[in-house]
Amino acid sequence: MKKLLLYYNTLKYLRWQQVFYKLKYTLFKPSKKISPPSSIQTHFVKGDFLPFNGASADGQTFQILNKEAKFDDKINWDYSENGKLWTYNLNYFDYLNSPELSIELGLKLIADYCTSTTKNGNEPYPTSLRGINWIKFISQHKIEDGTINKRLYVDYTRLCQRPEYHIMGNHLLENGISLLFGAFFFKDGKFFSKANEIITNELKEEILQDGGHYELSPMYHSIILQRLLDCVVLLKNNQVFETQDSLLILVRDKVGKMISWLQKVTFSNGDIPLVNDAAMGMAPIAKELLHFGERLKIKSIVLPLNDSGYRKLNSEELEVLIDVGQIGPDYIPGHAHADTFNFILYHQSRPIIVDTGVSTYNIGPQRDLERSTSAHNTVVMKNQDSSEVWAGFRVAKRAKTKILADTPSKVVATHDGYSRFGITHLREFEITTETFTVKDDIGKDNGISYLHFSHDINPELKEEKIIAGSVEIEIPNVEKIEIQPYMQGLEFNKQVEAKKAVIFFKGQITITFAPK
């Protein structure tokens, strides 16, 4: 019964389109044989795109996500020993963007792929990213190769037939963006029509009023922003379709809002907050994205943080990002964590209190831990998560927030994630010229508050105070404070040892941060 309720509370939020297309794609398999035309005309796309390379390859050894694999003979494009995300990245071909990769080696890798059979690579998401990278590489180096062109045409035909309507979110938007590249490369109206439809619908749905991407991950926000900046380059420099100018207007508008959001949440040292599913090394850094937007003469459409649920509180020395929003879109919360009322604190541009980060997408204990409430700077009740995260990318019951006060210096909100225990969690954040204070009220119940310190901070407990680098933390009238170890995820497959404070209290607690 418990498992049935978990599935019910997960599946009830799905949109009918997701259910319909999941059934359709499961019951009706695509044609195994797509025959390209005997003669395919291709057109190199023009424009200087934003370079990004998160992987490297030398023909035999692939360095991806801080793990490597070496293939002595034929490359195994379905290599699974480093996890599903590693396999996906192998199939993305991001390493084609590496300045160290020769044209000859790039062509050799593409040729190997064209003569191989791969299951993972034929999935829509890796197909989308691979297509973009191949087209950029081919166009940059003016490569004429009929075999590659036929493989690309088959891939785009299959993608056009089966976009990820069953998943939606960033996956579907990436499908549309890739189809746009395919449309210009092949001058194919069918590909453009599908791309235009997907991008238009998804941008209106996925980009919130304050410019944030609705999956609430600064990493995915940055990834999508890079793709859309590339779309601006593509649409500006390649005049092919009659209706492309209206799409360019829409994309530029959304990019301007996304730039504003990224500027708002980025810390003064250039770090993005690693909240929800987010890690470094997966997208260009914020500074590069913002500079590229300036090069394209896209003005930031300055907007206050609002419906994304993030707020930034600043004093002369302190910067704090807080989360008082919902966990994400109800029908696609796969990248959400049970982190309601989480916060991150920097002092003089240096991280003090951090999110524990993400080091894996592999389903298992580590993934469960990194999504759990106890892995964030908030309060745990009854040893339970505030939202029921499970199975890697699923969420059943979700904490709902309600904002009671919202000013530049003070935010007060409640959430009902523990209402099944008759508990409402109220948290108040307030910043002054000298201090930052967090106050919690959980009625008469017992709770545990967590503070996760950056790996380069060695906190010292002195009675009711913690000395954490350049910051002093006062925590009066609590039952017990313990300093414990934890593993901070900096990148995928890269963790470092760090310390956390585990604070046991009853009813109410006040935590005050002040520079020493």
Positions in the chain whose pLDDT score sits under 50? none
Name the amino acid, one letter, at 49: F
What is the per-residue pLDDT for 471?
Answer: 98
Is 389 within 8 Å of 338 (Cβ atoms)?
yes
pTM of the predicted structure, to 2 decimals: 0.97
pLDDT at site 500? 98
Q: Using DSSP, state whether 354 is helix, strand or coil.
A: coil
What residue ranges do the domains of the chain occupy? 50-162, 179-302, 310-515
Model pLDDT, residue 54: 81
Contacts of 278 (CB under 8 A, 6+ apart): 217, 218, 219, 220, 272, 355, 357, 358
Q: How far apart are the first and last CA of the chain?
A: 53
DSSP of 131-155, one letter per residue? HHHHHHHHHHHT---HHHHHHHHHH
State the pLDDT at residue 261. 98
- Level-2 CATH architecture, domain 310-515: Distorted Sandwich (2.70)
Task: Give me the count of residues in the chain.
Answer: 516
Predicted confidence at residue 37, as pLDDT, reads 82
Query: Distance between CA atoms of 172 and 195, rounded to whole angstroms?
Result: 10
Amino acid at position 110, single letter? I
The one-character DSSP state at 309 is -
**Residue 183: count of CB within 10 angstroms of its CB:** 26
What is the predicted pLDDT for the residue at 395? 98
What's the mean pLDDT when you consider all of the chain?
96
DSSP β-bridge partners for residue 498: 486
- The C-alpha atoms of residue 178 and residue 93 are separated, in whole angstroms, by 14
